[in-house]
Amino acid sequence: MSGKNWEAAVIGGGLVGISIGYGLARLGRRVIVLDEGDRAFRASRGNFALVWVQGKGVGMPRYAGWTRHSAGIWARFAREIGEDSAIAVAHRQPGGFALCLSEAELERRVAMMEGLMSQPGMEPYEYERVGPNELRRRMPEIGPEVVGAIYCALDGDVNSLRLFRALHTGFIKRGGTYAPGRAVAGIAPVAGGGFEIAAGDGTVAAERVVLAAGIGNARLAPMVGLRAEVRPQRGQVIVTEKAAPFLSYPLHTIRQTDEGGVMIGDSVEEIGAEEIGAEDAGAEDGRVGLGILAVEAERAGRMFPRIGRLNVVRTWSALRVMTRDGFPIYDQSAEHRGAFLCTCHSGVTLAAAHALTVAPMIAAGALEAGLSPFSARRFDVSAAA
């Protein structure tokens, strides 16, 4: 691989990187994905697998539109990746519910949605406040403590592990080259254009470079005149034994997978960079806390009593990649043409947009103006204010 001149090198083989890599490969580009290996922070294997629109974009209406765009092309994306990989990713879009266990919780949810829709520049979409009687009609096993919910027809979910495998398989089938165990130590812009990337025990030459290394982008971005102010945020997930189907809609904290297990999640823990040192990165990525898991399980059992009777078979945690304001960064270097940065914490929801919308922009050599609100330059405005 050393010495070959690639049209694009994507750094990071997680969901963001492989989605962009697949999108470039399907356009016929010579592309290599450089992946650190099993010591990398594997958020792609620890996510909750939602394709979710509801509630996203408070504080940035453009993000609401971007999320809605990706959800709208997800069915097409699922068909294409399924055809390329021969792997069904179990995408469905029946709409999703955010359940509430108290009137106060429901009113806060309603107020959040009303505030979201009233933002200047927001393109409103339909959502529905659903009472307990209607909820029991749609989900007969719902618990008596559930007082109501918000429903949005745009929401769905997917089998994210199959998606991850399908993207890697489709990427290779389309002619892409996957290079595991190639941690990137440095990126050197080349006079006259292009980049030389020190990866593993060799170098890779590429006309364009895409930084999609999650938390690692903070270190890599300055090498090409960019910046990525990202931090790790831990989320914990519970998975139960398989059960007969009883939950036909995904919820923002509970979903029954196509294989029958129930996933329970939605925890948020802010952790410091000192907690994820290089020596024990793998261990820190998978650390769980019984207190948080107990709260998740207790709420799930109140929402659906059946869940309280199921055995837990797995628990894990993973690190979300969070920016200062929680929204993605899509950027291109003004100093070194051909260098791009893509980082977000919604790799599943945005996979379709990354493959079918962002990748063609990178192939063409420039991000379109519609992505300019996601530039890291927005933080300069905040600092000046």
Token pair 């820190």 is found at 284
Token pair 């905040």 is found at 382
Range of the domain at 35: 5-51+161-229+327-384
Neighbours of 126 (CB within 10 A): 9
Give the mean pLDDT of 233-262: 93
Q: In this predicted structure, what is the pLDDT of residue 232?
A: 82
Percentage with pLDDT > 70 across the chain: 89
Helix/strand/coil percentages in the chain, nearest 5: 35, 25, 40
Q: In this predicted structure, what is the pLDDT of residue 289?
A: 56
Please write the tens of the pLDDT for every residue from 158-203.
Answer: 999 999 999 999 999 999 999 999 999 999 999 989 999 999 889 9
| 223 in the same domain as 235 | no
Report in angstroms the alpha-carbon separations of 265 from 232, 253, 348. 17, 5, 15
| 313 in the same domain as 173 | no
**Apex CA 328: angle with CA 337 and CA 224, to 5°?**
25
The answer to the question of residue 90 being in a domain is: no
| 123 in the same domain as 175 | no
> What is the distance between the alpha carbons of residues 97 and 113, in angstroms, rounded to a whole number?
13
The answer to the question of residue 56 being in a domain is: no
Is residue 290 very low, low, confident or very high in pLDDT (cuts 50, 70, 90)?
A: low
41 touches 215 (CB < 8 A)? yes
Radius of gyration over every alpha carbon of the chain, rounded to an integer in angstroms? 21
| 261 in the same domain as 125 | no
> What is the distance between the alpha carbons of residues 264 and 351, in angstroms, rounded to a whole number?
22
Last residue of a domain, one of 125, 153, 181: 153
Report in angstroms the alpha-carbon separations of 293 from 101, 274, 311. 18, 23, 14
Give the mean pLDDT of 107-118: 98
The per-residue pLDDT of the chain, averaged, comes to 90
Of 281 and 292, the structure prediction assigns the larger pLDDT to 292
| 225 in the same domain as 292 | no
Query: Do the strands 31-34 and 177-179 form a parallel or antiparallel pair, or are they unpaired?
Result: parallel
Of 27 and 230, the structure prediction assigns the larger pLDDT to 27
Q: What's the whole-model pTM score? A: 0.92
Give the mean pLDDT of 275-296: 55
Last residue of a domain, one of 153, 169, 186: 153
